[in-house]
Structure 1
Amino acid sequence: MKLAAAKVPVSTVWTSSDAPRDLDAAAVAAVPDVAAWAKSMTTETRLGLHGRTLTQLLFAEPVLVRSEKGGWSEIVAPWQPSSEDALGYPGWVPSAHLGELPSAATSPVAVKVPTAALTAEPGSGALTELSFGTVLASTDHADGFTQVALPDGASGWLADDVIRSVEEPSTPEDRIRLGSLFLGLEYLWGGTSAYGLDCSGLTHAVSRVLGQRIPRDAHDQADRLEPVPLDEVRPGDLYFFARPGQQIHHVGFVSAEGMLHASETGKVLENEALLPERRETLVAAARL
């Protein structure tokens, strides 16, 4: 195995190299346009991602490459803990999406807004747009901008007002505030970026910005996080849902209104009261 890092803003992780459909071409291009890909899909074609997509890598996220075949790399993502593999979340990505790890790995900062302009110099034109949840090592600071280490030995700059130190203390209110940035965003199976989120992608991405590395999937989050009785939950905790005799399939943030969550395909991220049919499947809660 070798170490690598995502060198594109968002790389979708697939179940296999032949999982993408023709309509997924923008997501698997050497320079992917995940925003355009997500916008192009209907509810029906989004449903077709089940069994095809698994998760997403964000810019500079490290991976272990297990094998390479036909322009694709079999990887595991250690920043996304999973019961599927002790080393991280497994799957396949286009090899063109991977580069060398950034040279620095200290003083990490995270993008705390939906998208942020990465520039070559402070205040210059954007090189690319980075998604919420992107974590980069900071190496310098000047005039309201922070220099960050990039894949393949490069460097860039981000405005201070779009990032936060992942070492900065956080509060439960921060989880609700950050999650609420995406109210109205359409659900995307396997999504962990500003262009589409699934339920556990939302809780995972928000936690990453706040310096907490939690499992990628809802059932793993329930297994590994601190349990809390359902009658003792408070805003910022997590609710988990499962049908009788089945694995946990849904997660959301407890909120003053009820729950902030990315609802299923065909719906959008919302902050709403827990309806009776939702309460029937509420099985557990956890505290971050």
Structure 2
Amino acid sequence: MKLVAAKVPVSTVWTSPDAPRDVDAPAVAASPDVAGWAKSMDTETRLGLHGRTLTQLLYGEPVVVRSERQGWSEILAPWQPSSSDELGYPGWIPSSHLGELPSSATAPVAVAVPSVALTAEPGSGHLLDLSFATVLASVDHSDGFTRVALPDGGQGWIADSALRSVEAPATAEDRIRLGSQFLGLEYLWGGTSSYGLDCSGLVHTVSRVLGQRVPRDAHDQADTLESIPVEEARPGDLYFFARPGKQVHHVGFVSAEGMLHASETGKLLENEPLLPARLETLVAAGRL
């Protein structure tokens, strides 16, 4: 096994190298166009991702490579805890999406806005657009910009206004504020980027920006995080949902309105009251 890093802004993790369909070609290209891929899919095509996609990796995220096969790497994602493997979330990604780890691993900062330009110099020389929840090590500051360490030994600059230190204290209000940036975003199975989120992906990525490493999947979040009585839940806590005799399948942030969540039923990220049909499956609450 070897430790490397994602060197593309967003790399989608698949159940196998055979899982991508023809329509998924933009997501598995050497320079993936995840934004274009997400926009190209209608509801039926998105639902077809069930059993194909698992999660997503963001730029600079560490990756353990277990094996390689015909241009694909079998990987584990250590930043995404999972009951499937104690070393991290498992799956497959194109090997072309991987590079060497950044040379620095101190003073981490997270992208706290939906997307931001990574530039070669402060404010100029566009390199890439980075997604919300991308975490990189900061190595310098100049005139409102932070220099960050990149995969394969490079460096770049990001506007300070788009960043948050992951070591700064987090509040419940921070969770609601950060998550609310994505109201109206279309649900994406396995999504952990600003181009599409699923329910547990929303919780996982918001927590990452706030310096909290939580499991990737809803049922693991329910099993791992502090459990509290449902009636004691307050904004910024979590609601968990399950059908009788089944594991937790849905999660959302408790909000003043009811719940902020990525709804596969409504197919959008929304902040809405808990309707009777949803309350029927509310089984637990948790605290971050």
Q: Which TM-score bucket, shorter chain as reference?
A: over 0.9
Cα distance in 2 between the residues matched to 1:266 and 1:117? 31
**Residue 43 of structure 1 aligns with which residue?**
43
Shift in alpha-carbon separation, 1:146–1:87, aligned structure 2, 3 A: same
Using the size of structure 2 for normalisation, the TM-score is 0.99
Task: Judge conservation of contact 1:188–1:265 (CA < 8 Å) in 2.
Answer: no
For structure 1, the 5+ residue unaligned runs are none
Shift in alpha-carbon separation, 1:266–1:285, aligned structure 2, 3 A: closer
Q: State the SS of the aligned residue for 2:16.
A: coil
**Residue 124 of structure 2 aligns with which residue?**
124
For structure 2, the 5+ residue unaligned runs are none
**Residue 163 of structure 2 aligns with which residue?**
163
Encode CA deviations 1:143-167: one digit per residue, 9 max, x unaligned: 1000000000000000000001000
Cα distance in 1 between the residues matched to 2:108 and 2:77? 18
Q: Tell me which amino acid in the other structure corresponds to 2:64.
A: L
Q: Tell me which amino acid in the other structure corresponds to 1:260.
A: L
Which 4+ runs in 1 deviate beyond 4 A? none
Task: Judge conservation of contact 1:183–1:269 (CA < 8 Å) in 2.
Answer: yes
**Residue 254 of structure 1 aligns with which residue?**
254
Count of aligned residue pairs for this structure pair: 288
Cα distance in 2 between the residues matched to 1:19 and 1:137? 33
Cα distance in 2 between the residues matched to 1:7 and 1:221? 27
Cα distance in 2 between the residues matched to 1:126 and 1:237? 38
**Residue 82 of structure 1 aligns with which residue?**
82
**Residue 69 of structure 1 aligns with which residue?**
69
Cα distance in 2 between the residues matched to 1:128 and 1:103? 19
RMSD across aligned C-alpha pairs, in angstroms?
A: 0.6
Task: Judge conservation of contact 1:4–1:62 (CA < 8 Å) in 2.
Answer: yes
Cα distance in 2 between the residues matched to 1:133 and 1:75? 20
Task: Judge conservation of contact 1:186–1:266 (CA < 8 Å) in 2.
Answer: no
Q: State the SS of the aligned residue for 1:125.
A: strand
Encode CA deviations 1:34-83: one digit per residue, 9 max, x unaligned: 00000000000000000000000000000100000000000000000000
**Residue 194 of structure 1 aligns with which residue?**
194
Task: Judge conservation of contact 1:46–1:265 (CA < 8 Å) in 2.
Answer: no
Q: State the SS of the aligned residue for 2:103.
A: coil
Using the size of structure 1 for normalisation, the TM-score is 0.99
Task: Judge conservation of contact 1:115–1:129 (CA < 8 Å) in 2.
Answer: yes
**Residue 273 of structure 1 aligns with which residue?**
273
1:125 positional shift: 3.0
- Quick one: percent identity of the two aligned structures? 81
